[in-house]
Each structure stands twice: as structure tokens, then as C-alpha cells.
Copies of this chain bind each other. A is one copy, B any other.
Amino acid sequence: MLTVLELIGIAAFAASGALAAVRARLDVFGVIVLALTTALGGGIVRDILLGVRPPAALVTWPYLAVAAGTGLVVFQFHPTVAKLRRSVLLLDAIGLGLFVTAGTTTALHLGAPPYAACLVGMTTGIGGGALRDVLLREIPLVLRREIYAVAALGGAVIVALGHRLGLPAGPVTLVGAALIAGVRILALWRKWNAPVARKLDG
């Protein structure tokens, strides 16, 4: 069941990358590359940081097939997908929760200290979207808006605390992922944003 959720998260991330690529007028191969990068980039960066080689995302064909297939579907039917924007954002929130908690858990199992595992988990969840925005010449959305990074941090801390207290990993991961998804959905719904610094006069 976790695997099904993971594939849903990958599809949601791939759809967000592909939609952004269609908006930037990329060709069909560019759209697929953006779908792959957004969906799998975070996990690849995680595996590079942790020394897992080759990165799991590159050698797990269902991940690749779901991400590339989603890219192709979005390329073909993007006006419909754009109308489903709310659903994509909902799935993206679930994907974020799963990616962050899975990344944190993997790092803890490989012996990283808790604060490092939280950073790695956040990178897993945020890295793909940041790569998408850099490739499309945008300042990464995650750095600018809507309580994205802090939701990820909260869920990662819960997983690391649960690990420290010896709680069973499965339920703790689900609680962490649900917290992340819940905060993200609330932030989108209530238009919560993190504070921005006062304007510079200079």
C-alpha cells in the first residue's frame, strides 16, 4: 500500500513538472524530462547525499514509467489537467508528505544523526520542485510561499523523534506524512504564508 501511495506521489510531482513545462512552451521531450526531474530529482539527490548507488529512482522502472507516462498524458491533455489544478495540488501535498518521511527514514536507517536525517528528508521532498523551477528559470516556489519548507521540516522532525523514542516506524511515518499533507492543504486553503522580511530601503 505504501508503494501505491508512493506512485501517486510520483505522478502528482510529475504532473506539476509537466504542467510547468507546457506553460514554458517546452517540446514533448522537454515536458517528459521535466516530469522525470520533478518526480525523481529529490530522491536522486537524497541517494547521492547518502551514497546509495545507483540512485533507486534510476533503477526502479515503475517510478520511471509512472513519471514519464504522466508527463506524456499532461502534454496531450494539459487543458484538462490544468482544470484539475486543485486535485494536483492535493496529490502534491500527499506526495510531499510521503517523500519527506521516506527520505528521513532512509537516512536514519543508514545511520545519519537525527538533524542530518531531517535535512535529507526535506531535500528529498523539496529537491525535485526546486530543480523544476531552476530549469525553468524561476526562483524556487518552495523558498517563496505557502509554508512549504516548514511543513516538510515538521514532518521530518516527527519521524526523527519517533525513531529516537523507539516507536514503530510505520505508524510514525504515516503520522508525519499526514501532518505534512494536512499543513500544506490548510496553507493552500487558508492562503497561509510565512513571514517576509521588511523591505530594504537601500
Q: Total interface residues on A, using CB and 8 Å?
A: 62
Complex contacts, A134 vs chain B, CB 8 Å:
134-135
A111 to B, closest residue via Cβ = B54
**Number of copies of this kind of chain in the complex:** 3
**In the docked arrangement, what's the CA distance between A33 and B83, Å?**
32
Nearest chain B CB to A164 CB, angstrom units = 15
- Is A58 a contact of B119 with CB atoms below 8 Å? yes
Name the contact of A53 in the complex, choosing from B25, B50, B150 (C-beta under 8 A): B50
The residues of B that contact A135 with a CB separation of less than 8 Å are 130, 134, 139-140, 143
CB-CB under 8 A from A112, the residues of chain B are 54, 58-59
- Give the complex CA separation of A58 and B107 in angstroms: 11
List the interface of chain A (C-beta within 8 A of B): 21-31, 33-34, 44, 48-51, 53-55, 58-59, 61, 64, 75, 78-79, 82, 107, 110, 112-113, 115-116, 119-120, 130, 134-140, 142-145, 148-150, 153, 193-198, 200-202
